[in-house]
A and B are shown apart, each in its own frame.
Chain A
Amino acid sequence: MRKMLLAAWAVTALAAATAVQAETVAIIHARILTAAAAGEILDGTVVIKDGKIASVGAYTAVPTGARVIDAAGGIVAPGFFATNSALGSVEVNSLGSDLSVDNPAIGASFDIQYTLNAESILLPVARLGGLTSAVVMPKPGRGRGGNDDDETDARSYTAGGGDGSRSHALFAGQAAVIHLSKGEDILTRARVGMVVPFGQAGAGIAGGARGAEIVALKTALQDVRDYMKNRAAYDRAGYRELPLSKGDLEALIPVVQGRMPIIADVHRASDIRAVLKLAKDEGFKVILDGAEEGWMVAGEIAKAGVPVLLNPLNDRPESYEMLASTMDNAARLQAAGVTVALESEGGDYRARETRYDAGNAVAHGMPYAAALAAITINPARIFGVGDRTGSLEASKDADLVIWTADPFEPLSQPTAVFIHGQQQPMTSRQLELRDRYKDLNRPLPPGYSHGS
């Protein structure tokens, strides 16, 4: 089976030179998890044509000329989403990343799409975990999680720079959706949300107290509205001075117009309530990110129609704003009617654990289909690409993975990954290292062992 797949990849690679998306592929005898209305198809066929899903179903005919892959009872699932990811924006975290900005002129206007590095060695590793898409989010200040062994002391947010206004730091910047297909521009959709830290982190930026941040945000959004009405005067320098830069004011226009959601980094139940109220008062759309205590206000979140991104493994009182953390958070929010997307610790090196996060959510009460949706169609819809990817339905991008068995299980492995209908190489720098050192008794030093 492995050999056959490898051979199949070689064929694809040859074909790629001429017509990259022309190949038609039929995956037969698959247990298909559609993450769509069709639910689970026990023995079905997926046909890929021109990079799209041509058909999905139990009785789909195999087109003549199609390359046939017999999944032999394995599972075909949509490619998974890494939500709250740093993929493409970080290489070696301790040496720096492109996730944070501390520049009085660039806060809300920071747009992560210009950061993205398609050649990052993290991308193939993520692909081998069945990921085909990611939402890359700017980080407020120095807020990235690190290795607990030595980074614990450094885990703190920094306020904005300089002695002047820190209003720019209220906004960490704009997120983007990417795909993980090798050799392409990886941007799927830019400007899908504006990251804003709330709670303790937001309080730090606003001068110390939580309430100050709410006031600062209201003021900033009012400044944006004033700016929109008085652009000409502003440009002639005939308008009152505004703390935010012109670029930041422009970037916030879609937010005040309710077109771009604020991705609220928030944890404590009371802070979640404050965010929901602020969003209602100010008329912006919001996505909650973190929400460890979300289950305590699940009804209010559901009523507001606000989606939640959460790490289902956060169950300790890691901070004073997460005292009520529990492994049941995902299941309880989902049961209350909240649209949930799961995110992984770090979202970069360990993004491949997304499928295990879903499995753990199931082990703690989330229905399997809901957990599947939480790493496929839900994040796709939340970030505005649900019409293109996130489920196995005709006319969507062919972003899918063939698995030996249940993809949430560690002992299951992916055997083929398709993104935009292109079969991806099942290789990574890590696997090259593995193969170099499998035999320590070669006559020449390991440096002489490499793929080419």
Chain B
Amino acid sequence: MSVTADDVRRIARLARLAEPEDRVEALVGELNGILNWIEQLNEVDVDGVQAMTTPVAFPLPMRKDEITDGGIRDQVLANAPRSDEGFFVVPKSVE
């Protein structure tokens, strides 16, 4: 499988990355280089093989369903690019 310039623009859009038009051709080459290289995985017989989930199997630890954290509004907002009156300030997203 190989990607075209249009594919690169579509992937960039999906990934929410502004790629300047002059980067697109270079990216087509770079992505195809990597994608062609990983094609060799098709040689491996994976019939009946389970996808790996974890190297060491253990039951997921459970804890009591109780509040252990909170009341740290100012800490949560401390690194916000913009905030006001205890809220994040973000661009308008609903007309």
> Is this pair of chains taken from one and the same complex?
no
